[in-house]
Structure 1
C-alpha cells in the first residue's frame, strides 16, 4: 500500500538514513590498480568490460536492474580485497551475477545454474561457478546486503516527486516509472566507468538526479539542500562528480563516422561567358566526387572551379595527402587548410596547365564569380 503525505516522507527518510548507515559500513575508497603484468593483474579497463558484459546478461535473462547493481557491488568489493588474475575474471563476474540473482530475484526467475553457465558464454562449468561463489562469500564474510547506487537513485527520485510534484511538468508524456527507468539506464552506464568508483553510491545517484533536475530548474542546488545534509555530501564534491558523470554519459553517445564530410551548397551563380572555347568537361553528375571537390563545395566555391581543378595533376597529387589529414582536423582547421592549398598552388597553376595541355580561362578579379582569396592570419 502506498503511503501519502507525512507518512510517505517519514518512510522515505527512514529508508535514506538506513541506506546511508549501511553504505558507511561497507564502502571503501577505490584505489585503482596499475597492473605490472598483463597476465597477473586485472586492469580497470578489464573491470569495465566485464561490467558491460554483466549488463548484457541482465537483458538476456530478463532480470531486474537491482540484480545488476548488487552484482556489480559484490564484484567491486571482492576485487578490492583479493588480487585475482584476468583469466578468472569471467568466472568471478558470473558468480557475482548468480549471487545477485539469488538475493533479489524471485525463485522462478532465478536462471538454472547449468543454463547460466551454458548461455552466458562465461567459459566456466557449474562446479567452477559454485567453487568461486563460495570463495566470494568467504572473503565478504557472507554479507551481501549493501546499499547500491540504484537504491539511492530510487529513494532520491521518490523524495523529489513527493515534495516537488512539478518535476515532470517538462515531460508530460513521461510517467514517473518511465522517468526513473531512464535514470536507471544512465546509472548503469556510469557503473561501467571505473573513474566514478572514487565516489560513493549516494553521491553518484545524486549527481545523476541533479543533472536531470537542472533541465527543469536552474536553482537545482536549493532543491536538494536537505539531501546534501542528510547524506553529508559537500557541494563542491557533488559538482566535481557531476562533471565526470556528464562526461561519462556524453562519451557513450554514438560518434559520427570518421570520414564524415559536411557539404555546403551555395546559391546558384551564373558564370560569365567567354570568347575562347575551353575544354568541355563531362557532366559533374557522372564524375565521382573527390575529397578536393567536396572541400571546394564546402568552402563556398562554385562546383565549376572544382571540376576544372580535377584536371590538374599537381593538385590531384596534393589532394591525396590533404584527404588523409581531413579526418583528424577540426572544422576551422579544415577550411584553413583548403585556403592554404589554393594559395600554394596559385603560383604553379600556369605551369600545370601548360603541362597538361589545358588553357584555363581567366577572368578579371572584379568579374570572377569566386570571392577573392585572403591570406590566412596566424592566431
Structure 2
C-alpha cells in the first residue's frame, strides 16, 4: 500500500510539474544578456543563487527552503524585465517567502535581521512590498513542485523496492547537495524537475554500482514515460556540472567574496537594533523599468564564502569547501 501511494503521488506531481516551471523564453533572454546590459545576466543570477545558498546555511534553513526560493526567483525573473539594482531585494524576498512556507515559525529569521545579515541596502517596507509583488505575479499560494519533490520520492521508492544490501549507500544528503549545485547554474532551470532529479539519482546509483537500484530507476523512467534522449541529455549535463565543481581548476565566481571578520563587540551587537538608512523605495508600478536612484546596490558582495555544513562535506562541492569564512575575535 505504501508503494501504491508513493507511485500515485509520483504520477500526480509529474502531471503538475509544468505549472511550476520558469518560462523558457525568459530564461533564454537572461542567458543571452551580456554583463554590460541593463538587465539581469546569467552570471548575475547564478551569483545571487549562491548567496541564497549561503544564507539558507547561515540561518539553518532546510534544502526545501533553498530550492523553493530558487524556483520562485527563476519564475519571477523569467516573467519580468528586471534591472540588476533590484535583484538583491527580489532574491531575499523569495527566500523569505519560501522560509515562511517551509520553516517552523519559531525558526524564522526576523525580516530586519535577514536584511542586515544579507548586507542589503533596502528597508523592511521594500522587502514586504516586493514579496507582495512576487506572490501576486506568480499567483503563489503555498506550494511548488520542484526537483527536490521528485528527489525525495525517487529516494523513497528506490529504497522501498530495493533488496540490495547496499541501499543505505544511496545518500539523500549527498543528492540534495548536488541538486543545490546544479541550481546554481541557470541552465538547469530549463530541465523538468522530474528529469533533473532522476538524472541525479541515476548517476549516484551508477557510482555505487547497484544493478538492483538501476532497474528500479528504469521502472520509474518507464512509468513516467521519460524519453531516453531527454534523460541522457540532462544526465550528461549533470555529470559535467558536478565534475566541474569538484575540479581544482574550477573557475571561481568573478566577484568579491564576503569575509566575515568581526570583533567581539560587533558580534555582540549583531542582534541589536541598527537603523536602516533611508533610501528611495521601489515604485509600485513600473519598478522594473525605473531609472530613478538605486534603492538597492547592483554591486552587492557575494556571500558564497560563508556556505554552511553541506558545502564543507566530503562530497560536494570542492571549491566551496575552500571558501571558508574567517572570524576574528
Alignment TM-score > 0.5, same fold: yes
Q: 1:108 to 1:165 in 2, by over 3 A?
A: farther
Question: Which residue is 1:185 aligned to?
Answer: 177
SS at match of 2:12: helix
2:135/2:141 contact within 8 Å kept: yes
Deviation at 1:156, TM superposition (A): 0.2
Equivalent residue for 1:163?
161
Structure 2 unpaired stretches of 5+: 252-329
Q: Are the counterparts in 1 of residues 46 and 184 from structure 2 also a CA contact under 8 Å?
A: yes
| Runs of 4+ off more than 6 Å | none
Shift of 1:29: 5.0
What does residue 10 of structure 1 align with? 4
Deviations 1:160-218 (A, max 9, x none): 0000131735x6xx5x6xx1011100000011112222211110000000001112236
Q: CA deviation at 1:45?
A: 1.3
Shift of 1:20: 1.3
Pair 1:232 & 2:263 matched: no
CA contact (8 A) 1:39 1:86 kept: no
Q: CA deviation at 1:247?
A: 0.5
TM-score (norm 2): 0.70
| 1:60 corresponding residue in structure 2 | 58
Aligned to 2:133: 135
Q: 1:37-48 to 2 correspondence within 5 Å?
A: 38-48=36-46
Q: For 1:106-125, list aligned pairs within 5 A.
A: 106-125=104-123
Q: Choose between structure 1 and 2 for higher RCO, CA contacts under 8 A separated by at least 6 residues.
A: 2
User: Is the 2:49–2:70 contact (alpha carbons within 8 Å) kept by the matching residues of 1?
Assistant: yes
**1:236-255 residue pairs with structure 2 within 5 A?**
236-255=229-248
Cα shift at 1:90: 0.8
Given the alignment of the two structures, is residue 213 of structure 1 paired with residue 211 of structure 2, yes or no? no
The answer for the alignment partner of 2:149 in structure 1 is 151
**Aligned counterpart, 1:199:** 191
- Contact 2:205–2:214 (CA<8 Å) still a contact in 1? no
Q: Note if contact 1:39-1:85 (Cα within 8 Å) is conserved in structure 2.
A: no
Aligned length: 246
Distance in 2 separating the partners of 1:51 and 1:134: 21
The answer as to whether partners of 1:167 and 1:213 remain within 8 angstroms in 2 is no
Which has more radius of gyration?
1
Q: Secondary structure at the match of 1:166?
A: coil
Q: 1:37 to 1:63 in 2, by over 3 A?
A: closer
TM-score by length of 1: 0.61
Q: Which stretches in structure 1 are left out of the alignment for 5+ residues?
A: 1-6, 259-379
CA RMSD, 1 decimal: 2.2
Q: Measure the CA separation in 1 of the matches of 2:82 and 2:205.
A: 40
Structure 1 distance, partners of 2:177, 2:250, is 25
